[in-house]
Structure 1
Amino acid sequence: MNRPALPDADTVRAAMDTVLAAAVARGRRPTLTAVERHLGLAHATFYRHYSDLITGYFQPRIPRPTAAADGGPAGADETAARTVRRLRQENTELRRTVEVYAEMIRQLAAENDALRQPSAVVRSLPARGDV
Structure 2
Amino acid sequence: MRKQSGVIFPLTVVVSFFFLLMLAHVLALYEVEMETMKYEQQSSEVESVMQMAVFDIKKQLASFSDLQPGNEGTFLYPIGKADYQWKRIDETTIHATVSAYSSGGIRYNATFLVLLPSLDIIEWTENDES
What TM-score comes out, normalization by structure 2 length? 0.38
Q: Larger strand proportion, structure 1 or 2?
A: 2
What TM-score comes out, normalization by structure 1 length? 0.38
Structure 1 or 2, whichever has the larger Rg, is 1
